[in-house]
Structure formats: structure tokens, C-alpha cells
């Protein structure tokens, strides 16, 4: 396991949020900044890098393949790129810890190398499906072994395969699979085209262009020609809207609250959470909108509002996929019923987020009925759970459950297995305290 001793959060019921803060750096962009910086010619300077366990595992993996990368210092990282063909064989398996993004994107890059490599992960990642990447890579000619019928990690990647470009229709809306195929496409003969069933986050395409690599987008299809070159650049990673989402919901549901979250990435493929919360009646306004290194950013002000239940439009689901744990909390605090459908992908995240969040809300007195591809939640009064909420080691379940405490009527909410918050949001507890959400931490016996 990549995380240390189990950490318990203890959160007192109630609270008011105020002030302003910049949340942790964007995880998706942090991974990609290391990957593309390592494969570029020249030196890439990154600022705003997320110093969380997930992106640090990506950083360590490239160091293990001979890339010189400085220790992150206050979000600053310098990468001495080795070029597309400059990686060297790692001497041990590459440990991706808890990160599906790292494993799936790395798999695409490693499929194009001349050497063999192995990708491993923690207990949660070792249960996550990898056929979604090994299938298209096999069509490109890659040789990747996974475990068992489900195609689980470890992934053993045989080098020297000689990839060819393919046209691939993604069976699910997944930016990780899209990115894996496009990154393998850098090493393939000819054109690689990926078509997605619905728009998903497009950071890979944007960042490749930032490194001077042409990626064509026509409708829902992205294509690139293999064998080009990436040229080092500077990358300013904005604050992660997925981390900001916890406080968007927190300030909405806690009465008399008013906060501003600074320099948040508002790429339109990530802003589903804002759209969904606004449909529910949230008071969210953007200011200081600007573009930084090909990605839009803004300050986001959130004031308390009474939410109402809605049927969540299915086209918003991929654009808010990581925000559902905390959106479930918003639904629990809304007047009326919220219905989520078309979100079966939530079942194969760091935990089965439909089952785990439904359990957590039920433990807090809310009628939450899981369905195959979503959940039906009737808003109501939250009460303190009689035993600790089990986050199942899922960072976003832990943080969402802490936010829920703001609307619990009395007592405390205990949340177990919270160490993995460090995968995406180191400093969550301190930042929460600064905004008015007080969380105590304990290592239970």
C-alpha cells in the first residue's frame, strides 16, 4: 500500500466558511507535465505542480528511466527532457501507487519503448480494469500482459513491438484511455485517431500542442501522426477544480458562507460540477478569467444557497466524473430528489463510489438508493453516524464525508482510512481549517 498508517478524521457538526484559498495543483495536468516534459527535447519548467503521492509516483517513474527531474519545491519542478527515444530501461517495476491515470497513460508511453517494463500499484489500483488500455494497444501491435480474465495489474510491457497507428472508437468516455492511445501514437507509424462517445478532459491534447506537437480535433475525434518531436516549454498548473469542488459544495451547504477559490482551472471539459451545482441553485460566480499556457483559469466565488434536487443531465457526467462523491453530499442537502444516471464509470474508480457514497449517506440518515449506473438521493437532515464512515482508502470519499459534517445536526463525524487524501490533496486539513472546516486527525489503535 502506498499510504501509511490509517488516519481517522474527526469533524465536528456544523460550521461556516469564509475567506479565500488556492487549492492543490491539478492532478491530471501535473501527471502530464512530467510525462511530456520528460519526452521533450530541452528543459521544461513547471509551476503549480501537485506535490501529491499520485503525481510524485509519475515523477519517480521517469527518474527511474533516466530523466533528471528536480525535487518539487513549492510547486516548482524542472525536467531535463530526454526526447521521445531517450528513456532508459528501469531496473525495477514502476510503482504507480493509487493512480489509475499514471498507470494507464504510462502504459501507452511504455508500449512504444525498446525495453521491457512492469507497472504495479497499490491494493486499490491492483483491482482496477486495464483491458480498456491493453485492448487498443494490442490493436496497435503492442505486447502488454495483464493478470487474469479481468486484465488487472501488474502490467508487463514488452518493448520493441513496433507500433502502427489505428482508428479507435472508445467504448467508454475515458480521458485516460484516449490519452493512452494518443501517447502510444507518438511512437506509431502513421496516423492514430481516437473517437470518444462524449467529450472528456482534453489536457493531453492541449499540452501536446503546448509542446509543439500537432493534434487535430474534428468533432469528437483526435488524431496525431507518430514520430514527431516535443519541444520543452513552461507549464503553469492551475488549482485543481476537482479539489476546489469540495469547498464549492461546502460553502454552498454551510449557512452564511462566502468564499473565493483562486486560480482554478476551468477547462470546459472539467466544469460539469459548476453546471450541476448551478442547476441545483448554487450561487457561484467567476472572476479574473484568463488563459494560462493554453488552459483557462478563474477565481470562483461561492456563497451559501438552498439547493434543490434535479435529474442530473447525462451529458454532464463525464465533465464532472471525479466530483460525484461531493455532489452526492450536495444532493443530500438539497430539497427534493436528485437522480444520477449514466455514471457506471463511478463503480471502477479508486473505490466503487456509487456503493461507498450511498453507504456513507445512509449512515448519516439520508435515503440514498444505489442503482446500476447511478443513485437516487432524497435530500434531508443529516445526522451523526453511529460508527465511523469507511472511506475505503478513497481520497475523494474521505474529503466528501468531511464536507457532509457541515450539515450534520449535532455531534461528530468520524471517517476512517483517510491517508490517501495525500494522493490528490496534501494540505487538505490545513486548508480546510483556514476556510472554517475544522478536521482533527488521529491514528486509531
If one asks whether residue 28 binds ligand S3P (CB under 6 A), the answer comes out as yes
Enumerate residues 62-121 that contact ligand S3P by CB under 6 A. 101
User: Can you tell me which of 3, 8, 22, 201 binds ligand S3P, judged by CB under 6 A?
Assistant: 201
Decide: is 8 part of the binding site for ligand S3P (CB under 6 A).
no
Q: How far apart are CA 187 and CA 160, in angstroms?
A: 11
Residue number, 35 or 79, with CB nearest to ligand S3P: 35
Spatial distance between the Cα atoms of 395 and 386, rounded to a whole number of angstroms = 22
Give how many residues touch ligand S3P by CB under 6 A. Answer: 10
Is residue 206 a contact residue for ligand S3P (CB under 6 A)? no
Using CA atoms, how far apart are residues 295 and 236, in angstroms rounded to an integer? 9
Q: What's the closest the beta carbon of residue 258 comes to ligand S3P, in angstroms?
A: 29
Q: Which stretch binds ligand S3P (CB under 6 A): 173-181, 209-217, 251-259, 351-359?
A: 173-181
Looking at 205, 322, 323, 394, which residue binds ligand S3P (CB under 6 A)? 322
From candidates 283, 344, 345, 412, binder to ligand S3P by CB under 6 A: 345
Would you count residue 423 as binding ligand S3P (CB under 6 A)? no
Phi (first) and psi of residue 13, to 5 degrees: -60, 145
Report the interhelical angle of 27-39 vs 100-111 (nearest 10°).
20
CB of 171 to ligand S3P, least distance (A): 12
175 near ligand S3P, rule: CB under 6 A: yes
Q: Please state the closest distance from residue 287 (CB atom) to ligand S3P, in A.
A: 27
Burial class (CB in 10 A: 0-12, 13-18, 19+), 443: exposed
Pick from 2, 44, 113, 176: which binds ligand S3P (CB under 6 A)? 176
Give the DSSP per-residue string, 339-361. EE-S-GGGGGSSS-HHHHHHHHH
Active site residues: 322
Residues between 226 and 265 with contacts to ligand S3P, criterion CB under 6 A: none
Instruction: Annotate 124-152 with b (16+ C-beta within 10 A) or e (fewer).
Output: bbeebebebbbebbeebbbebebeeeebb
Which of 11, 182, 321, 356 touches ligand S3P by CB under 6 A?
Answer: 321
Supply angle C-alpha 168, 122, 62, rounded to 5. Answer: 65
Alpha-carbon gap, residue 279 to 327, rounded angstroms: 12
Q: Which residues are CB-neighbours of 195 under 8 A, at least 6 positions away?
A: 167, 168, 169, 170, 220, 221, 222
Tell the smallest beta-carbon distance from residue 179 to ligand S3P (Å).
6
Q: Residue 44: helix, strand or coil by DSSP?
A: strand
- All three cell numbers of 314, joined, read 447525462
180 near ligand S3P (CB under 6 A): no
265-284 residues in contact with ligand S3P (CB under 6 A) are none
134 binds ligand S3P (CB under 6 A): no
Nearest to 124 by CA among 417, 353, 393: 393
Q: In the complex with ligand S3P, which residue's Cβ is closer, 99 or 260?
A: 99
Q: Which residues make up the interface to ligand S3P (CB under 6 A)?
A: 28, 101, 174-176, 179, 201, 321-322, 345
Amino acid at each position: 500500500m502506498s499510504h501509511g498508517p490509517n488516519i481517522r478524521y474527526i469533524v465536528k457538526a456544523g460550521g461556516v466558511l469564509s475567506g479565500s484559498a488556492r487549492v492543490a495543483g491539478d492532478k491530471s495536468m501535473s501527471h502530464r507535465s512530467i510525462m511530456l516534459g520528460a519526452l521533450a527535447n530541452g528543459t521544461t519548467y513547471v509551476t503549480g505542480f501537485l506535490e501529491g503521492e499520485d503525481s510524485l509516483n509519475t515523477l519517480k517513474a521517469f527518474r527511474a528511466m533516466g530523466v533528471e527531474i528536480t525535487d518539487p519545491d513549492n510547486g516548482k519542478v524542472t525536467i531535463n527532457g530526454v526526447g521521445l527515444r531517450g528513456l532508459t530501461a528501469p531496473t525495477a517495476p514502476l510503482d504507480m501507487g493509487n493512480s489509475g491515470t499514471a498507470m494507464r497513460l504510462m502504459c501507452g508511453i511504455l508500449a512504444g519503448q525498446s525495453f521491457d517494463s512492469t507497472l504495479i500499484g497499490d491494493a486499490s489500483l491492483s483491482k482496477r480494469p486495464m483491458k480498456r488500455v491493453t485492448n487498443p494497444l494490442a490493436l496497435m501491435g503492442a505486447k502488454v500482459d495483464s493478470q487474469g480474465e479481468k486484465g488487472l495489474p501488474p502490467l508487463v510491457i514488452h518493448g520493441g513491438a513496433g507500433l502502427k497507428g489505428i482508428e479507435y472508437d472508445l467504448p467508454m468516455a475515458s480521458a485516460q484511455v484516449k490519452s493512452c492511445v494518443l501517447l502510444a501514437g507518438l511512437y506509431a507509424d502513421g496516423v492514430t485517431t481516437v473517437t470518444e462517445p462524449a467529450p472528456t478532459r482534453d489536457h493531453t491534447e492541449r499540452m501536446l500542442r503546448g509542446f509543439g506537437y500537432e493534434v487535430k480535433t474534428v468533432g469528437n475525434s483526435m488524431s496525431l501522426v507518430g514520430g514527431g518531436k516535443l519541444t520543452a516549454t513552461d507549464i503553469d498548473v492551475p488549482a485543481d477544480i476537482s479539489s476546489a469542488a469540495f469547498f464549492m459544495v461546502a460553502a454552498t451547504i454551510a449557512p452564511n458562507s462566502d468564499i473565493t477559490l483562486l486560480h482554478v482551472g476551468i477547462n470546459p471539459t472539467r466544469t460539469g460540477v459548476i453546471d450541476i451545482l448551478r442547476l441545483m441553485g448554487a450561487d457561484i460566480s467567476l472572476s479574473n478569467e484568463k488563459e494560462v499556457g493554453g488552459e483557462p483559469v478563474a477565481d470562483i466565488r461561492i456563497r451559501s444557497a438552498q439547493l434543490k434536487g434535479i435529474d442530473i443531465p447525462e451529458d454532464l457526467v463525464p465533465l464532472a466524473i471525479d466530483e460525484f462523491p461531493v455532489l452526492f453530499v450536495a444532493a443530500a442537502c438539497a430539497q427534493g430528489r436528485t437522480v444520477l444516471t449514466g455514471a457506471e464509470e463511478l463503480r471502477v474508480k479508486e473505490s466503487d463510489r456509487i456503493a461507498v457514497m450511498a453507504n456513507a449517506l445512509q449512515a448519516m440518515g439520508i435515503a440514498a438508493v444505489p442503482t446500476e449506473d447511478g443513485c437516487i438521493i432524497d435530500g434531508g437532515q443529516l445526522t451523526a453516524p453511529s460508527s465511523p464512515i469507511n472511506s475505503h482508502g478513497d481520497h475523494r470519499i474521505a474529503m466528501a464525508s468531511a464536507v457532509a459534517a457541515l450539515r450534520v445536526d449535532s455531534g461528530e463525524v468520524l471517517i476512517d482510512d483517510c491517508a490517501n487524501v495525500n494522493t490528490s490533496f496534501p494540505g487538505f486539513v490545513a486548508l480546510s481549517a483556514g476556510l472554517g472546516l475544522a478536521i482533527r486527525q488521529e491514528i486509531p489503535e
